[in-house]
Amino acid sequence: MMRRLRAMLQLISARWALVIGGVLLSIVALMALSANFFYPDDPLNMAGQPLLWPGQDIEYPLGTDSLGRDISAGLFHGARTSLLVGFISTAVALLVGTAVGAVAGYYEGLIDDILMRITELFQTIPQFMLAIVLLAILGPSIEMIIAALTIVSWPVIARLARAEFIILRNREFVQSCKVIGMSDARIIMAQILPNAAPPIVVMSSILIATAILMEAGLSFLGFGDPNVLTWGTMIGMGKDQLREAWYIVVIPGLALLVTALALNLVGEGLNDALNPRLREQR
């Protein structure tokens, strides 16, 4: 047991990207989890004097915006919203995309053609534009933002899962399962999917970062939930004071940068750890 634990720790420490990304992501997650503890009031409420610069008042360490809202409170509550939107939308997209890709890659033929044509239909439309259209129709709310991001994200997972299933479906272990009479559903779930999972997991971490940035862009343009403060909303509200109070835009912008960087580092580290070719090189 101790040997396995020691080997796992050595494997993780060798992947510096995974370690750094995990630390940064843990900090953002702690901010999200502790938002109600440190800032129980609504972050949209006026808290103090408007346009206090960071460090000017110890009660508001990151300052206030033009309406007197505490930027620190917005940063903590925005972390919760960003992670919630990113993880939920990617999780649903992962389920839908993997299911579509698995069926298309395993059965081929007409089923593959139909599912891939539907997938290509979604991919012909730019993701951000499709999300804007969907929110314009469905209305701006956190639930609708998650739904819109799910709709624009699942085709990437579907194509990746299909490619992996096409590679694995003719392997000897799959053919052996067919010979002994194992059902298609069991072969897909118990045999092929575990072997196809590593690249899908790596792609999922990248999709979370993409979803967080896309949500920020939608909120910046006014398509976010007006009742929820997000990092994109904070940037949008501060753009008019960019010259005289640039910190209002820069602070949430840096939070977005760090979060996206952390998720990309985690994805790179997972790819390094799960890719057998890279393991052999080390």
Give the predicted TM-score (pTM) of the model.
0.87
Whose tokens are 């709709």? That residue is: 151
Q: How far apart are CA 96 and CA 150, in angstroms?
A: 9
The C-alpha atoms of residue 68 and residue 280 are separated, in whole angstroms, by 56
**Helix, strand, coil: what percent of the chain each, to 5?**
75, 0, 20
pLDDT, residue 17, reads 78
What's the confidence (pLDDT) of residue 89? 94
Task: Tell me the pLDDT tens digit for each residue of 127-138.
Answer: 889 899 988 888
Give Rg (Cα) of the chain. 22
Tokens of 51: 């346009």
Residue 282 has a pLDDT of 47
Q: What digits encode the pLDDT tens for the residues 198-219?
A: 889 888 988 999 999 999 999 8
pLDDT for 278 beyond 80: no
Query: Is a pLDDT exceeding 80 seen at residue 179?
Result: yes
What are the phi and psi torsion angles at 64 (to 5°)? -130, 160
CA atoms 116, 118, 123, 128: torsion sign: negative
Domains of the chain: 16-281 (1.10.3720.10)
Mean pLDDT, residues 222-242 taken together:
87
Whether the per-residue pLDDT at 5 is higher than 60: the answer is no
Q: How much is the pLDDT for 271?
A: 76
SS3 label, residue 62:
coil
pLDDT tens, position by position, 79-129: 999 999 999 999 999 999 999 999 999 988 888 899 999 999 888 888 889
